[in-house]
Structure 1
Amino acid sequence: MSQKLAIIMRGLPGSGKSHWIEEYIAALPLEVGFRLRRQGIFSTDHFFYQGGEYRFDAKKLSEYHQRNLTAFIQALALEEPIIICDNTNLCHWEYMAYEAAAKALGYQVRIVLVGEPLDPVHQKLCAERNRHQVPLSQIQRMARLFEAF
C-alpha cells in the first residue's frame, strides 16, 4: 500500500468538510499535521480571499479552479505525504482530474463525502452554517447536481 495519500472532499457548502479536515489533522502527529496545514490543503475558495475577506467572483471561478488543480499537482510532484482537495466536488467531472493525477503519481486516493446532499434537512443545515452566506436556494441547486460515487 502507498505511503502517500490524497483525500478528495465532497459535500455542499456548510456540510462540514473543513470541520472533517480539522478533526483529521488533530488526530495526526503534530509535525505531520503542521506540514499538511502549510503545504497540503488545496481549496479553490482560498483564491477568493483578498486581505482576509472572502469576495466571490463567478468570472474568476474557472481560472481559480485551474490554479487550485495546478497547485495540487505540484504538491503531488513534490511527494507531499498527504494532500487534500477541499472543494465541493459534487459532480465526478469536478474531481476526476485530481483523482487521476494522484493515482498517476502513486497516491492512494480516498474520497470523503460529508453529509447527504440530497437530504432536504441537511441542505437547510448547510444553508444556515456555511461560511460564505450561500443561500438555501443555491444550496438546493447545487444538491440537484450531486452525483453519487
Structure 2
Amino acid sequence: MSDTKLAIILRGLPGSGKSHWVETYLQSQGLEIAARVKQYGYFSTDSLFMNDGQYQFDVSKLSQYHQHNLCGFIQALANSEPLVICDNTNVCHWEYAAYQVAAKALSYQVKIVVIGDPKNSQHQSLCAERNRHGVPLVHIRKMAQLFELD
C-alpha cells in the first residue's frame, strides 16, 4: 500500500453485500493489510450487537453504538491507520457525514461505495432474502425509499 491514507465508507441496504465486499476487498490487499484492517481499521455498528456469536439487535442501544463506532473510526484516523473502513447502511448522507468530514480533516482520501441498487425492487427482495439480521422486506423497502443517492 502506498503512503496514501484511504477511508472507505460503505453504503447499502441490509443484505446488499457490504460485509462481503469488505472481505473481497481485503483479500485483494494481501494478508498483512487485511489482518491490520480487521484489527485496527474496520468499523461496523452491527458488530456491536453481536453477543456470544449471536446478533441481538436492541433499538435502545442504536444511538450509543453508532457513536461508539464513529469514535473508533476517528481514533483509527488519528492513529494514521493506512486503511479505515466504515461498514454501515448509511442510508442518508447525514448518517456518514461525520465519518467523511473527519477523514478529510485528517488528510485521508475518501471513497464512498454504494453496494447494489437500493432503488431497484429486485435488489430489495434479494436483500430481504439474504440479510443476516432478519430485516423483513417491508423494512428494507422503507429504507430504500429513504436512501439518498448523490
The TM-score bracket by the shorter chain reads over 0.9
Deviations 1:47-97 (A, max 9, x none): 111111110001110010000000000000001000000000010000000
Question: Contact 2:44 / 2:87 at 8 angstroms: preserved in 1?
Answer: yes
Contact 1:2 1:107 in 2 (8 A): no
Deviation at 1:2, TM superposition (A): 6.3
Please name the residue that 1:26 is paired with.
Answer: 27
- Post-superposition CA distance 1:8-49 (Å, at most 9, x none): 000000001111111100101221111011111101111111
- What is residue 97 of structure 1 aligned with on the other side? 98
Q: Does 1:63 align with 2:64?
A: yes
CA contact (8 A) 2:8 2:84 kept: yes
Corresponding residue number in structure 2 for 1:137:
138
Identity of aligned residues (%): 61
- Answering whether residue 104 of structure 2 is matched by residue 81 of structure 1, we say no
Secondary structure at the aligned position of 1:121 is classed as helix
Which residue does 1:16 correspond to in 2? 17
1:108-147 map, 5 Å: 108-147=109-148
Number of residue equivalences: 149
* Counterpart Cα distance in 1 of 2:137 and 2:121: 10
The one-letter amino acid paired with 2:28 is A
The aligned amino acid for 2:78 is A
Regions of 4+ moved over 4 Å: none
The aligned amino acid for 1:83 is V
Query: What TM-score, normalized to structure 2?
Result: 0.97
Contact 2:3 2:82 in 1 (8 A): no
State the distance in 2 between where 1:132 and 1:77 align: 32
> Any gaps of 5 or more consecutive residues in structure 2?
none
Q: State the Cα deviation string for residues 106-146 of structure 1 (Å, max 9, x = none).
A: 10000000000010000000000001010000000111110
Decide whether the 8 Å contact of 1:127 with 1:139 is kept in 2: yes
Q: Closer, same or farther in 2 for the Cα pair 1:108/1:2, shift >3 Å? A: farther
5+ long unaligned stretches in structure 1: none
Contact 1:2 1:106 in 2 (8 A): no
